[in-house]
Structure 1
């Protein structure tokens, strides 16, 4: 079973699942190039301990921690969206049908509960007119949060910790015999933030209609990396306390962040390469973010190489879980 948010679903990598035009589309933006599908194909080609593997994937772009186990979600896909919006979907633990017979559950979630997208947007706006070394976004979040997101980063960390622990308990109650594997987020910014070009929208700058080009400062880019690291640490700690297995994707993706050249990056920037079905502009609150030059609104998400790397790490964890289970039975 694969549960998770857009970093699990794939959103713009590969072909949409269900296919474009299908009556089964639910607005969750799962794709054929997402790591759960890559893992399934690899395990099918070489079954662990001779066991047949079946993937059930109801990951959904935009999902929060609570929408994994307890809350309904209203999907936000910009692709072929109904005029009146997407209907809400049940919590992922219910959609996947977790039960006592479930062997393995992978979970990749947490970013939308901060929410990281709103933090990134706040940092882009806060960087207007600021020198490279300034940290207006960090300063605001450490002091209680900006106007658009009035919650301090410390309160966010505390809340996400509680929510993640509750979510894992709910998953384990639904699937008491399953091995639970949680998946962290990849490295999204470089170790040296000064290598980011503040004018490059394929990195961490953005063009807003009627506003112009904005970007996070180098100081805040470094802080965004710290936020990502802290989120991963929360996921890892809660996973270990619950007896699960944590998959680290950050270490293996160092040097492949959003500020790297096209051939090197595993995470697209605010704008980047994506399937032709993905839009080149998207509403961000009352503003409209636009991408040019054939780029799409990738909004700092993993590309095909990023999903391939995550698949390698997750495949190893799933193989270990299934092989260990077989040897103990």
Structure 2
């Protein structure tokens, strides 16, 4: 069973599934589908782009039912990627497009040098505060609801891969790649850009690391397995020119440049990224299944439940009942034989 937002649904990838509704932009190339193929699992994928924890718990989304409605006592494995939209982390990041490596941020006035100027004004980091409050609370509710609906499932919380690189993986020359330049009107808009100032790359990298840390703590509190995809993807963020796991930013302009919008999939896992998430998740599931106590050891989870010394409880009960019936029959037979071997009361009284 797969739950989650656009990072689970494969927003921007091909082969749309139309599930749970078309507006979810779910792809058959997303990491849950890849995991199911790799491990030969039956999959129900209700992940949906733009989903928040509320859409997991109790709020319909574009006509789709709350995601936990798809769970049940028979659900055995759940993957979930959720939380980023509660604080609008990635939506905010997408609004930080800049005109140059040192700014300004692209807006109507183009006067703000970086997003951090407004998001972290006076030492009050608005995004971090939202993660610590809105996201953390939403994760607790979502994980509680998942456990209630799927009491027998192993749950794997898949963290977000690096969209913005940490300092160790940021080039000395910075990450900036423009999405609009002096030749755009004549030659078209540049593709796969990374239009963020040096200040915002460092800032947004820190915000994402904080988001993943909150996810990890929430997973641990719920006794779920956390799949940490951040360290292994730092060298493959959208900043990378060689082997990125995250799609860069490309703009789509209407005729005459009267309207400009982001191309679907910007700052989301590309095919390589979906494969990476699938590999990490499949490995975590495999390790978890391998660590399950054997049925002979009296495991109490999954297929081992209700098994002792290799025989199901029902068999032991049947054997016990049979033995009891045999014992009762033997006792009755012995009593009858003893009675036949004794003189009758009348015989003892005869002179």
- Listed one character per residue, the Cα deviations across residues 13-72 of structure 1 (whole Å, up to 9, x for unaligned) are 2311139xxxx852111112111111111111xxxxxxxx21110100111111111211
Match of 1:137 in 2: 115
CA separation in 2, counterparts of 1:35 and 1:183?
10
Bigger CA radius of gyration = 2
**Structure 2 length-normalised TM:** 0.69
Match of 2:247 in 1: 268
Equivalent pairs counted in the alignment come to: 273
Q: 1:251 aligns with which of 231, 239, 252?
A: 231
Match of 2:5 in 1: 5
Query: Are 1:194 and 1:218, in contact at CA under 8 Å, matched by a contact in 2?
Result: no
CA separation in 1, counterparts of 2:122 and 2:2?
35
Q: 2:260 aligns with which of 281, 288, 294?
A: 288
Distance 1:116 1:324, change over 3 A: same
Query: Are 1:198 and 1:217, in contact at CA under 8 Å, matched by a contact in 2?
Result: yes
Match of 1:60 in 2: 48
Displacement of 1:135: 6.8
- Listed one character per residue, the Cα deviations across residues 74-116 of structure 1 (whole Å, up to 9, x for unaligned) are 3xxxxxxxxxxxxx2111111x2x1111111110011111102
Query: 1:184 aligned to 2:159?
Result: yes
CA separation in 2, counterparts of 1:35 and 1:308?
6
Match of 1:168 in 2: 143
CA separation in 2, counterparts of 1:67 and 1:308?
26
Query: Are 1:144 and 1:151, in contact at CA under 8 Å, matched by a contact in 2?
Result: no
Distance 1:43 1:91, change over 3 A: same
Secondary structure in structure 1 of the residue aligned to 2:24:
coil
Match of 1:275 in 2: none
Q: Which sections of structure 2, spanning at least 5 residues, go unmatched?
A: 106-111, 305-351
Q: Which sections of structure 1, spanning at least 5 residues, go unmatched?
A: 45-52, 75-87, 273-279, 291-295
Query: Are 2:175 and 2:196, in contact at CA under 8 Å, matched by a contact in 1?
Result: no
CA separation in 2, counterparts of 1:184 and 1:136?
27
CA RMSD of aligned residues (A): 3.2
CA separation in 1, counterparts of 2:21 and 2:11?
13
The answer to which structure, 1 or 2, has the higher relative contact order (CA under 8 A, 6+ apart) is: 1
